[in-house]
Structure 1
């Protein structure tokens, strides 16, 4: 403003360039009558932004005036999320939001085939450990470290099958197969030799074989035995064995067999079976028990109420026939019973049968049993009954009268009246089969 002249009352207004702000003095000053200004002239200073805030696990550097740029960095093991720089704008605010520092992670690692990997958060500084399943061994890095740059140390390992010691084929034999874990070695013998031991060995997880190497020995057939018989001859390849049975037994199968080069017999061992008789049939109304092989004894029995005629046993003989003849069963009977006097009887007298007694009209059973059963002991149950004439109820003579007669079935009672009286009703009562009188008792009335 040097060289300029201002008259009384003139105003001056001050402003700053973008990015600057007035500091001190007055934004407007006026020329006074004494030729002086009523206020001080301000100055323009750079605008300042708020101090930059360091992110957690990080730092911020740089000035905070208009046009200045601040820079953000993270501590080791952390990575910046957001803008790494921010510029102070003319408005006094930063051009970008503050970033964050997040913990650095490595990519997840997979377990190798046939192996395992220890659990981990995959953060910087973490270590994972690899191991293999039983029967496998690790090739590569056993441990891997998550490094500050987010990469793993070392290389991804592999799990390979362990090896068992090399085996040799047995003398007079051959062998095929590998020697890694779970591999199998198969053994065989030359013609005329037989494998003694396991035909197959397996390589185990502990790098040992599942058993010892077998041997090849000259071929022998297994010993044969025949129950209730005998075998003669050897068991070496080419030998023929002869078979026979004890007395009383039949040979089923070939009588000879030969030991073959593969250690088996040319035919299965025969069997000696005991001789059989034809099965027996139980007699009518009876049963038979017991076996039907040589020497067995069959026993016959009759049903209750029947008795045996003939021998109760038969024996199976060497000629496969039964001794003797089979018995038969006949029905047992009790002594015949007679009908009681004035009565009758119905029914048969075989064991188990029941006879029934009845009395003639006007008679009833007063003692003994109305029915009797023939028991297995051929005796009758109960006692012989008796038929007695039935009786009608006792009656009394009418007043002023008399009565004569008896009260058994068919009998009559005769009634009469005293002198001076006359009979009202029947003078005769007859006892009937139903034990009732045919009419009522009469009365005597005065004439």
Structure 2
């Protein structure tokens, strides 16, 4: 009776147990046998030993293998009580139990399958990319590269490992290349005529960035294009920065040369007035003679591009006063803009004022000449009256003309001071010290050029 009851229970248990096959489980079932094994607790009842070689369906794990053994021998690897060790091929991970055994209900004690090992999809690389040998599968090698102008920092290669993680860490692409900046070629220029400078132009350099092509700013250190450059060597620098603050610099040189002629010397008893620096290309020098001297030769000379002066140097010769004139105007015109005149009149050569004045002036002939003063003497009474300039005698008509033109009396000592423009500047009825006369000239009558000469020749008369 007990044996019959056990058989009935076993039959009903088998009917209740479902033999549904789930696609994708990993098992290859034969003849409607399920590839799923549900863990069931075996009833604590005594069951007979069934010597059935294929009590449970044969295990066939896709991408894996089962190693089974049974106490009954090699032919009973799927019999009730058989035990199987499960393992997956390389590149696959075991999901479920590593060991199952065949139960009384003809099912295995667990469900197991092999899942392919996959790593996560790698993040996109900013300013770069990667290529993988086998996608995200095991042993797939992914190599990283950066866009032109960027450099890779970090792991260049990553491998999908058996634990489903990539080796290493995410690299980054950084812009460490400086921009490309090319300055103009250095240049040499000649100073412009009659100038010590020249205007220099150039095209501003263009900066390019090998990465994103964006240049933040370009800085100039030095004069702007189109500036006036003086003589010498001038270094022009440009600096460019990209968005990553990488810097590039370049420089070029502007050399300005001034063509010069030999330095001219002023003529004896004369001086020079020159434009610009006085001896540079294009400069013009004009010769002038001191009062009482006349110029002989070309008054202007120009510094030429061959470094030579045009013309030849003139000379300053003593002024020739023509006393053989018929009028006062003819005499006075010879001194216009050249000499100042001091007309001394006395009734007699023995006049004490006249003798005193002559004595003082004879001691300062250098000061008189330095200030371009010529003395005209009118001494005596007709018919013995004498008029002279140095040793040259004036005619009676010119003497009379001077007295009338300047209102000079014969009756007493008197003096008239005339400037270079023929203007009556001062009169004296008593002798005057040369220092007083010179002070008046230096204070009120000197031209700028005369003042310069006086400074240069300050010690000449000492």
Greater RCO (Cα-Cα under 8 Å, separation 6 or more): 2
Does TM-score exceed 0.5, indicating one fold?
Answer: no
TM-score by length of 1: 0.37
Write 1 or 2 for the structure with the bigger share of strand.
1
Write 1 or 2 for the structure with the bigger share of helix.
2
Q: Which has the larger radius of gyration?
A: 1
